[in-house]
Structure 1
Amino acid sequence: MAVLDRLVADNAASAPLAGKSVLVCTHATTATSKLIMAVTALGATVTYVPVSYSGEGVVGDIGNNSGVVVVEATPDAVHLNLPSTDIILEDGMRISRIVYDNPEKYRWKEHLYTIEQTTSGIHGFERSIKSGLLYPVVNLAEAEMKREMENSAATPESILSLLVSRESLTLSRKRVLVMGYGSVGRGVSRLCASHGSVVTVAEEDPVRRAVAASHGYMTVDVLGIDTSLAHQDVVVSCTPNGNGHSLELEQIMLMKNGALVVNAGTGTGEVTRDALAPGSYEKNRATITITENGDGCVTCGFEKMGMRKTVRIVCSATPLNLGCGAGTTDDVMDVVFAIALATMIGVDGQQLSNSIHNVGTDIEKQVATALLPPKYGLAPNHIAEGDLVREERPWGRLFRFVPAEGTPALTRFSTVRASFDPGATTEGHYHAVSEEAYLVESGSADILVWDPKDPKGERKTYHVVAGSHLSIPRGMAHRVFAGPAEEFVCVIVASPPFSFWDQFFPKLPV
């Protein structure tokens, strides 16, 4: 958590949060633990309220931090802790909703304010504006850095990882319907299209629909998606709680056999509850069987007039990042929590009115400065040396280059130096996400390349020697046959960085 660490290092001497009491209500992750350590390091005391889906082990680790008290999200706990709280950091309005349900019961400091980190939480506060906000709200959800890094990149990449790795889906030539063209929907559309999917965007707002069309996507009003659903292989909901347009069971019944529905929105309203309740019943002269899979997913089985089909709802009861997706990565949460910490340092609750406030540009610039390395990524007169990590393989060994701290550009690709024993052979495999370049240092090898989707199609063998280079596009299977006379040594560069989750082993070509 480099950005949090830099903020702490820059502010520790002045202890700007000394005497403050902070109530933190977020998911129990390693990033949350780091945030709480940073807040306490700057002088504050912390009461931590873990939300649903939180890991017990991480909660225990947080509770072991000095000066941290862990309590449950109950009215009694809020009643006990709120009067002494100066700042709330919450996820989904979970603390404030308890207060708003019965405000006469609670007391709070005059300068109390809350930092809300989710879009669904901000929507909750917006609905409360008519009756009057009880205390100021800082809108972390719409901070530009958070929105762009989390919504436009991290969540779409998590969806892609889920579909390609866990669901074993090849997106090339698949029809994908993206519901909603906000920042998440734009990111999902872009990534799916880059992998060869035929993307249709369903959007109620005509302006956003026009923008999607200008980006080259087919578009449809979300109110008229029924005719489109029957042709889709994947439907990804990227809307906040469905925006009043939840997928109904009758609509899911229209989808083709084996189709997937992915809940990537900001709540639990993307799919109607009827489609999630386990059981078997009759509807529209069809027998419907809904089964929980125990992995955060639901399978809907339909039988009508002797015909059968199934549709799988992925991350059915919770949004993707809280269900079975990869979640928001630590590097993104490092930035999100750094913005929250900088807000705690720089915002005085006594100067805020009872309204929803955007994060100040000065705060985001402070975090951006902490995120960006010094010029050229290195401190003056200092050369940063990365590490080489040796890993043994059945065919030989490799040395994986681990970039040094302060060189973030080098994390956008991975670099290994691979040494193949004479005559060694790798398993045939391909990468759905990464592209690779082989730069031969010494020895020789034959590299077989083929399309795994067409195992009887054309296959090519490339003979490479010292000084040769060969590029392997994503999706193309390849197998290395090292020469028999000497060790074959090459440097392999992969972009995006290599991941074991992105390694697939197809049948060998005929």
Structure 2
Amino acid sequence: MENVIKDPKLAEKGKKRIEWARRHMPVLQKIREEYAAERPLEGVRVVACLHVTVETANLLSTLTAGGAEIAVAGSNPLSTQDDVAAALAEDGMRVYAFHGENDQEYYDCINRALEIRPHVTLDDGADTIATIHRDRPDLAAEILGGCEETTTGVIRLRALADAGKLLYPVIAVNDAETKMMFDNRYGTGQSTIHGIMNATNFLFAGKTVVVGGYGWCGRGLATRARGMGANVIVVEVEPRKALEAAMDGFRVMSMTAAAPLGDLFVTVTGNVSVIREEHVELMKDQAIVANSGHFNVEIDIPALEEMASGVSEVQENVLEYKMADGRRIYLLAEGRLINLAAAYGHPPEVMDMSFANQALSVRYIAENGRRLDRKVYSVPSEIDKRVAALKLAAMGIEIESLTPEQDKYLHSWETGT
């Protein structure tokens, strides 16, 4: 089936950028060399519904080195980098992704990718798996398993599994410690600020930034915003996370209390309607609202549109909503992922670990999928530990080893006071 991309002429630019990222992804390259020698994915068909970025390109080239046949769709209408899509298509992959897709085009691309009848699915948000379960359950019999990259997708898949409706096993790559502790915290923290600054040239120093959510992504964003000189308020519903934020030195309050104080609001919860009409009514003139959670539902955009007397695009990725009382509220990147819509997404150094987990999990599924139950699995601990060890080695860091005496002590009960 013919590729659906923006412009094949962009391929050369994309290849240069992919190569630059590759130099900063040593763990994935180590796995790529191993796969090229062993070909563990020979004949395995993979549908990847991921953000089409330079880092993703290096994951996919690792899988093809192992023998996999790949079809790619974007996992967000605004996150596809068109030069990367062109480069992947020129390298022989089936690519159905372009920046600026509407909803119909987005799902058309996913369905085109599914025409290869995959053995393994890779998701960032679970839209491929949802499409299979909703529209293409006939494909499930051939599928050995899947991988899910992000918190939002894992939430959806666990709900599907709890309902007894999950049609094949899925590994929650998001929950690997070498993914969420680094990608979610350091990647989201840095790339979200990058996207906001690209879209607005916002000065963080001295401003009040409200962070909705204090999971790993919220922790990273709050810490980085404070490092830029912002006064940070955290809004959280889970008491233990709220307590942690308070102990970390942040002000913690409800969104209603924070709404009149914030200059910038960023949601990173994985939930719906975190910022609602009653909050917008309290915001100051020229407050900026952005989202770095996976879907564009964290901000109640329909309510914002209903409240506005007029909407205009004042610059790229910035929509101005004029309120009846004259206040102006600015929404960034249509409420979609600001770090990918207005920036490059996570740096390759952290995606190196995330996608190493993906690459090793695909092999695990190919070898073990038929023996797994239809549920959501954690990344096997041996994979998570191997990724950490490879990353340390790439960084030139040598760690301590247990002595025989220490190992015995940790595995015995006899020694006391």
- The TM tier, using the shorter chain, reads 0.7 to 0.9
Q: Which amino acid in structure 1 is aligned with residue 86 of structure 2?
A: G
The 2-side partners of 1:325 and 1:13 are apart by 35
- Matching residue of 1:17: 41
The 1-side partners of 2:344 and 2:333 are apart by 11
Q: Which amino acid in structure 2 is aligned with residue 265 of structure 1?
A: G
Contact 1:276 1:317 survives alignment (8 Å): no
The 1:142/1:375 distance shift into structure 2, 3 A limit, reads closer
Q: Does 1:63 align with 2:63?
A: no
Q: Which amino acid in structure 1 is aligned with residue 58 of structure 2?
A: K
Q: Does 1:107 align with 2:139?
A: yes
Contact 2:256 2:278 survives alignment (8 Å): no
Q: For CA contacts below 8 A with separation 6 or more, give which structure has more relative contact order.
A: 2
The 1:103/1:215 distance shift into structure 2, 3 A limit, reads same
- Matching residue of 2:70: 46
Q: Does 1:177 align with 2:210?
A: yes
The 2-side partners of 1:372 and 1:216 are apart by 30
- Matching residue of 1:249: 277
Contact 2:317 2:334 survives alignment (8 Å): yes
Q: CA deviation at 1:246?
A: 3.0
Q: Which amino acid in structure 2 is aligned with residue 318 of structure 1?
A: R
Contact 1:267 1:319 survives alignment (8 Å): yes
The one-character-per-residue Cα deviations of 1:70-89 (angstroms, maximum 9, x if unpaired) are 3575476366322xx22111
Q: CA deviation at 1:175?
A: 1.7
Q: What is the root-mean-square deviation in Å for CA atoms of aligned residues?
A: 2.5
**Aligned with residue 29 of structure 1, among 30, 53, 61:** 53
The 1:147/1:326 distance shift into structure 2, 3 A limit, reads same
- Matching residue of 1:237: 267
Q: Which amino acid in structure 2 is aligned with residue 200 of structure 1?
A: I
Contact 2:41 2:63 survives alignment (8 Å): yes
Q: Which amino acid in structure 2 is aligned with residue 80 of structure 1?
A: E
The 2-side partners of 1:164 and 1:48 are apart by 30
Contact 2:166 2:374 survives alignment (8 Å): yes
- Could you say what secondary structure the match of 1:256 adopts? coil
Q: Which amino acid in structure 2 is aligned with residue 101 of structure 1?
A: R
The 1-side partners of 2:221 and 2:329 are apart by 20
Q: CA deviation at 1:147?
A: 0.9
Contact 1:155 1:328 survives alignment (8 Å): yes
- Could you say what secondary structure the match of 1:31 adopts? helix
Say how many residue pairs are matched: 359
How do 1:108-507 residues align onto structure 2 when only pairs under 5 Å count? 108-109=140-141, 112-129=144-161, 130-164=163-197, 166-221=199-254, 225-240=255-270, 243-275=271-303, 277=305, 288-293=309-314, 295-304=316-325, 308-347=326-365, 348-373=368-393, 376=396
Contact 2:94 2:113 survives alignment (8 Å): no
Q: Which amino acid in structure 2 is aligned with residue 170 of structure 1?
A: L
The one-character-per-residue Cα deviations of 1:425-453 (angstroms, maximum 9, x if unpaired) are xxxxxxxxxxxxxxxxxxxxxxxxxxxxx
Give the structure-2-normalised TM-score: 0.78
Q: CA deviation at 1:257?
A: 1.7
Runs of 5+ consecutive residues of structure 1 not aligned to the other structure: 379-510
Q: Which of these two proteins has the greater Rg computed from alpha carbons?
A: 1
Q: CA deviation at 1:275?
A: 4.9
Q: Which amino acid in structure 1 is aligned with residue 260 of structure 2?
A: A
The 2-side partners of 1:374 and 1:150 are apart by 17
Q: CA deviation at 1:117?
A: 0.9
The 1-side partners of 2:395 and 2:192 are apart by 34
The 1:172/1:55 distance shift into structure 2, 3 A limit, reads closer
Q: CA deviation at 1:244?
A: 3.7
Contact 1:301 1:310 survives alignment (8 Å): yes
Contact 1:315 1:325 survives alignment (8 Å): no
Q: CA deviation at 1:184?
A: 1.3
Runs of 5+ consecutive residues of structure 2 not aligned to the other structure: 1-21, 98-106, 399-417
Q: CA deviation at 1:206?
A: 1.6
Contact 2:132 2:140 survives alignment (8 Å): no
Contact 2:148 2:154 survives alignment (8 Å): yes
The 1:172/1:125 distance shift into structure 2, 3 A limit, reads same
Q: Which amino acid in structure 2 is aligned with residue 57 of structure 1?
A: D
The 1:250/1:112 distance shift into structure 2, 3 A limit, reads same
The 2-side partners of 1:299 and 1:9 are apart by 49
Q: CA deviation at 1:290?
A: 2.2
248-257 vs 198-207, greater mean Cα deviation: 248-257
The 2-side partners of 1:194 and 1:70 are apart by 39
Aligned-residue identity in percent: 25
The 1:69/1:191 distance shift into structure 2, 3 A limit, reads closer
- Matching residue of 1:444: none
Structure with a larger share of its residues in helix: 2
Structure with a larger share of its residues in strand: 1
Contact 1:275 1:300 survives alignment (8 Å): no
- Could you say what secondary structure the match of 2:140 adopts? coil
The 2-side partners of 1:23 and 1:11 are apart by 18
Q: CA deviation at 1:100?
A: 1.1
